[in-house]
C-alpha cells in the first residue's frame, strides 16, 4: 500500500519473529473476552442506532461475527457525518473507499468502473464506527446521539 487507500501490488506477510509470536500468544489468550465485548458493543448499536438514513446489516443466526469493525451504511450525508463526528473527536473510517477491482494492483484484471456496481455503491455509503473492546457505554451513547442528531438535521 502506498497510503491508507491505495493498493499498489498484491502481497503477503507471513513471517513472525519470536517476540511477535510471544505477543500473539498473549493476545490470543485474551481473544474470547475481546470478541465478547465487541459483540456486546455491536449489539448495543443494533438496539439503539436507528435512523431512516442508516442501515446496519443484521446479524444472522448462522454467523458468528467478531466485529473487528462495525460498518453502517449511510445513504445520504455520509461524508458530512464523518466530518461532524471527527470534529467531536470520534474517529470513524471508510474501509475500502476505493473498491479492490479499481486498485492499481488489480489493473491486470482489466476491470473498470461500473463492472461491480454494488461494490462501488458500498464504497460510497459505508462508514465504520468505533466498536473497540475499550469503548465505554458512555462513549457509545455519545456516538449514537451525535449520529442521529446530525442526520435529523441533514
In what helix (H) or strand (E) does residue 119 lie, and over which residues does it extend?
helix 117-125
> What pLDDT is recorded for position 119?
96
The number of CA neighbours under 13 Å toward the Cβ of 120 is 10
> What is the average per-residue pLDDT within 62-91?
96
Euclidean distance between CA atoms 32 and 147, whole angstroms = 29
> What is the average per-residue pLDDT within 76-97?
96
Q: 3-state class of 22 per DSSP?
A: helix
Euclidean distance between CA atoms 115 and 121, whole angstroms = 11
> What pLDDT is recorded for position 2?
86
Q: What is the pLDDT of residues 21-41, one digit of tens each?
A: 999 999 999 999 999 999 999
Which sign, positive or negative, has the C-alpha torsion 59, 63, 64, 70?
A: negative
Domains for the chain: give ranges and CATH numbers: 18-153 (3.90.1150.10)
pLDDT surpassing 80 at residue 110: yes
- 75: phi then psi, degrees, rounded to nearest 5: -65, -35
> What is the average per-residue pLDDT within 44-49?
96
Amino acid at each position: 500500500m502506498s497510503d491508507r487507500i491505495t493498493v499498489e501490488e498484491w502481497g503477503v506477510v507471513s513471517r513472525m519473529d519470536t517476540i511477535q509470536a510471544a505477543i500473539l500468544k498473549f493476545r490470543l489468550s485474551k481473544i474470547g473476552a475481546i470478541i465478547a465485548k465487541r459483540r456486546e458493543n455491536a449489539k448495543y448499536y443494533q438496539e439503539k442506532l436507528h435512523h431512516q438514513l442508516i442501515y446496519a446489516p443484521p446479524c444472522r443466526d448462522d454467523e458468528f461475527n467478531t466485529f473487528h469493525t462495525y460498518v453502517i451504511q449511510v445513504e445520504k450525508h455520509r461524508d458530512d457525518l464523518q466530518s461532524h463526528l471527527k470534529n467531536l473527536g470520534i474517529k470513524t473510517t471508510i474501509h475500502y473507499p476505493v473498491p479492490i477491482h479499481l486498485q492499481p494492483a488489480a489493473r491486470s484484471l482489466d476491470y473498470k468502473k461500473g463492472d461491480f456496481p454494488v461494490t462501488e455503491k458500498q464504497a460510497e455509503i459505508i462508514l465504520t464506527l468505533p466498536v473497540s473492546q475499550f469503548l465505554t457505554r458512555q462513549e457509545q451513547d455519545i456516538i449514537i446521539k451525535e449520529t442521529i442528531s446530525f442526520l435529523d438535521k441533514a
